Amino acid sequence: MAETKHLVTIKGVKDGLVFVIDDSCPFAEALQELEHKLDNTHRNILAGPVVHVQIKLGKRTSSEEEKEALKEMIGRNGNLLVQSIDSDGSSAEEARKQAPEHVTVYKGIIRSGQTVRHEGHLLFLGDVNPGGTLLCTGDIFVLGALRGMAHAGLEGNERALIAASYMRPTQLRIADVISRPPDEWGIEDASMEFAYIREGSMEIDKINQLHRLRPDHPFGGI
């Protein structure tokens, strides 16, 4: 008869207990086995002083809801205190997604014939003159006059934005989408504006509307 595979393994260590959760089974099955062990086979660990618990998820990437379910189930036994929940399965891409967005600040003037390229989000303090070009893989925010060409989302990111204190460029591009001529935007006052893509077309709006479109954006509170 084949040996039954344990979905949850509980190990004693110097500083308390380690709960190792199998990373190849459905989370609900592992949670069910954990509950069974706490209520039946491992009740002896529930008596006595406070015991610190480390949870090891292996290569499993769990949601915050799943982590809270683990904490709740273990924590309802008064002497068990969850200290950490660790996973070694986060890929570089997952880590990149979870990392806070970083905005780089540049100062100066981009003159005719000059091109500035940047990886990531850029806050440019200065003017982009006619004939100047600003290229960026992320968002572009110009605290100054944008009279040249700006291309955000250079590698295909259609969620990228372009904003400027004075938005009168020769051309705007986001990913592969090119803007309409400035005289078709319908905005005449001097308020800061930003460009974004909606349903495959580029739109222009006032910067105070950014929080409605991207409430999670680093500049969403402007």
**pTM passes above 0.95:** no
What pLDDT does 97 receive? 46
Q: Please give the span between the terminal C-alpha atoms of the chain, in angstroms, as a whole number.
A: 66
Q: Which of 198, 190, 192 is nearest to 214 (CA)?
A: 198
**Residue 120 has which token pair?**
């990531």
Give the residues across from 172 on adjacent strands.
Answer: 150
How far apart (Å, rounded) are the C-alpha atoms in residues 213 and 23? 37
Q: How far is CA 120 from CA 14, 29, 83, 94, in A?
A: 44, 41, 35, 17
Q: Which of 150, 154, 155 is nearest to 193 (CA)?
A: 150
What pLDDT does 128 receive? 95
Domain 100-213 fold: Pectate Lyase C-like (2.160.20)
pLDDT digits (tens, 9 = 90+) for 2-56: 445 678 888 887 778 888 988 888 888 888 888 888 877 666 666 667 788 888 8
Q: Using alpha carbons only, what angle is made at residue 208 by residues 203 and 209, rounded to the nearest 5 degrees?
A: 45
Q: How far is CA 192 from CA 29, 131, 142, 167, 185, in A?
A: 53, 21, 9, 7, 14
The domains of the chain are located at 8-92, 100-213
How far apart (Å, rounded) are the C-alpha atoms in residues 47 and 50? 9
94: left (phi over 0), alpha (psi -120 to 50) or beta: alpha
What pLDDT does 116 receive? 93
List the CATH code of the domain at 8-92.
3.30.70
What pLDDT does 173 receive? 94
What pLDDT does 30 receive? 85
pLDDT beneath 70, residues of the chain: 1-5, 41-48, 77-78, 89-101, 180-191, 211, 213-222
Residues 6+ apart with CB under 8 A from 73: 31, 34, 35, 38
Q: Are strands 193-198 and 162-167 parallel, antiparallel or unpaired?
A: antiparallel
Give the residues across from 174 on adjacent strands.
Answer: 152, 177
Q: How far is CA 209 from CA 67, 180, 201, 213, in A?
A: 35, 20, 18, 7
What pLDDT does 217 receive? 61
